[in-house]
Chains A and B, each alone.
Chain A
Amino acid sequence: MNKQLQAILELDRVIHEPARLMIVTLLSAVKECDFLYLLNETEMNKGNLSGHLARLEKAGYVEIEKTYRGKVPQTLLRLTPAGRAAFDAYRKRTKAAHAPL
């Protein structure tokens, strides 16, 4: 099997899903953000976003912290070190998959 096909097959399916890829990409550029920010940036509905975040949390890529900002509840989200490593590996494999034949 050629290297490009191999790279495509090895892509992380958890990150490769378009909605989760969007989430992980945004989280990779920040130290942390809250649920509302991701809701606005991804334009998903709350249920959809929560579902994808739960999947990423289960894979160990995202850390979810429920806290308060004053008296207002806030959900903070961060990419874990494993999540960052997985995203970097995903980007490298994507690049390899797009390499010229």
Chain B
Amino acid sequence: MKSDLQNYIARPKRYDNIDGTGEMVVGLILWGYALAGYLEALLPQNASTRLRVVVILAALMLALGLAFGVRRAIKRFITWPRTGYVAYPRRGLRWWITTVIVRLVVILAVVGFAFLIKTHHVMGMVNVNWNLGPKVWNLRVVLLIIISVAAYPIWISRTGGKHRWKWIVCLSMVMGVGILAVTAPGDFGQWARPPVLLVGMLWLGSAAGTLYSYVRHTKSAAPEPE
């Protein structure tokens, strides 16, 4: 069990999401991903791969820019004047090296697994005849949905678990994705977009609820005397 001192050291980190901006960033990124998928679907069938990549990247960059811009505005005009300003220490070189290595390993593992499936070779032990073709790359969308839903309860517990209504949001995510998986028509690529939109919307809804609760329970402080 953490000591009181360790709990106190953890408080500034929890403060970073006191206004729901962390959830807002996740929600906007998911919407950016869904937007990228819809824009790509609007492109003509014979559109080049380069154009598709540009469209996807543009949608993601737009979402990221909006996410960080809005976050900054909320911090500057709402959070800092109410409950104070905090700057966090920059992560050291060791953290960056570890993070990059871990991510490269995960990416290589996923690509390697997809390659194995596509070439029907599974250690020569099982002859897999899956005709998934390009749909194998849609596994990344499934992974994205699973990760973004699984991350939510972890997020709630790590940010103090103060807002019990968030467990209802969590349940809505799981049930919503499940219902869409069973009822949504269309092929795999088309199916993946509504759940990403739904999960993104619920993350954004959670962010709005957190921000509302924060604004309701705090008041703008008087400026410090000079």
Contacts and interface: CB of A to CB of B under 8 A. Distances in A.
Interface of A: 21-22, 25-26, 28-41, 69, 72-76, 91, 94
B85 interface: yes
A71 to B, nearest CB: 9
Contacts, number: 71
Interface of B: 5, 8-13, 15, 80-81, 83-90, 221, 223-226
Contact of A25 (B8, B85, B88, B90): B8
B127 to A, nearest CB: 55
B224 A73 contact: yes
A37 B9 contact: no
A30 B84 contact: no
Contacts of B224: 35-36, 72-75
B130 to A, nearest CB: 49
Given A30-B89, A73-B225, A40 B9 contact: no
Contact of A40 (B10, B13, B84): B84
A36 B8 CA distance: 17
B88 A31 contact: yes
A69 B9 contact: no
A75 B84 CA distance: 10
B88 A30 contact: yes
Contacts of B9: 25-26, 28-29
Contacts of B84: 33-41
Given A36-B83, A39-B84, A72-B223, 9 more contacts: A21-B5, A25-B5, A33-B84, A34-B80, A36-B80, A37-B15, A37-B85, A38-B84, A73-B226
